[in-house]
Amino acid sequence: SAFLQWCDANGIDTSRITITTDVATDDRTVHAACDIVPGDVVLAVPFERCVSTPGLKCGVTACPLDGDEGVDSSKQYFTPSERLAATLAKLRDDAERGQGEGEAYAPYVLGGLRDDIVDGPVFTWTNQEIAELQFPRAIGNCAKTKVRDGKVMKKLRETLPSESWVTKFPWALANARSRAIDLERGESFLAPGLDMFNHSHANANVKWESNAEGDAA
């Protein structure tokens, strides 16, 4: 696929995995291409190919929320996931326009991260739909998320009405919440390829390892 070709061209080692797509359903799955034992590195991604919050200083880090007088101090108001989502939304917007850093990341943000991940952003859910979750804790968490997401979208639309990336924010936030990895001190990142694996958001089995090539494993 174009995404795997992009990975190979950008130093992302995908030799231990294969990605297949079901022709009938268009569902995509990741499989091991060889025997994997505990301790093996399944996927290695160079630091410079990650998409991250600015504090990590690797890959794409420019958050469009920073330095904007029309938005509250982004670090105080927005969560790491929301800040990462803004970065990803801007990256996708640039990719669609063929400009900036987005052009170089187009196979990832337009192919690796697919539109169908967003069935319906939480802030568009009705109270009845939330109630169908049936579990009290899930209902409570979802209701809080709905309120928060609604406030964030309202703030973005009011303070940045001319920024086209804002329309991509719900998609980007869904990706940041389901695919990103949180680190200590409020930093978060997406690693192309790694985000296709099921993993814990806060305690993923990931190791940052600096070496001569500057790779992140």
Whole-number pLDDT of residue 71: 57
pLDDT at 217: 42
Give the CA distances from residue 63 to residues 17, 58, 113, 173, 213, in Å, rounded to whole numbers and listed in that order.
Answer: 31, 13, 19, 13, 26
Residue 36 has what pLDDT?
83
* Residue 143 within any structural domain of the chain: no
Q: pLDDT digit string (tens) for 124-148?
A: 788 888 888 888 888 998 899 889 9
pLDDT value, residue 2: 84
The domain containing residue 54 runs over which residues?
Answer: 2-118+166-216
Residue 62: inside a domain: yes
Contact predicate 187/56, CB 8 Å: yes
H-run or E-run covering 20: strand 17-21
pLDDT, residue 31, reads: 82
The total domain count for the chain is: 1
Establish if 156 belongs to a structural domain: no
145 lies in a domain? no
In a domain, 155, yes or no: no
In a domain, 153, yes or no: no
82 assigned to some structural domain: yes
Low-confidence stretches of the chain (pLDDT beneath 50) = 69-70, 217
DSSP conformational letter for 59: S
pLDDT value, residue 70: 46
Q: Is residue 128 part of a domain?
A: no
In terms of C-beta distances under 8 Å and separation of at least 24 residues, what long-range contacts does 183-188 make, across chains too? 183/56, 185/55, 186/53, 186/55, 186/75, 186/80, 187/52, 187/53, 187/55, 187/56, 187/80, 188/52, 188/53, 188/80, 188/81, 188/83, 188/84
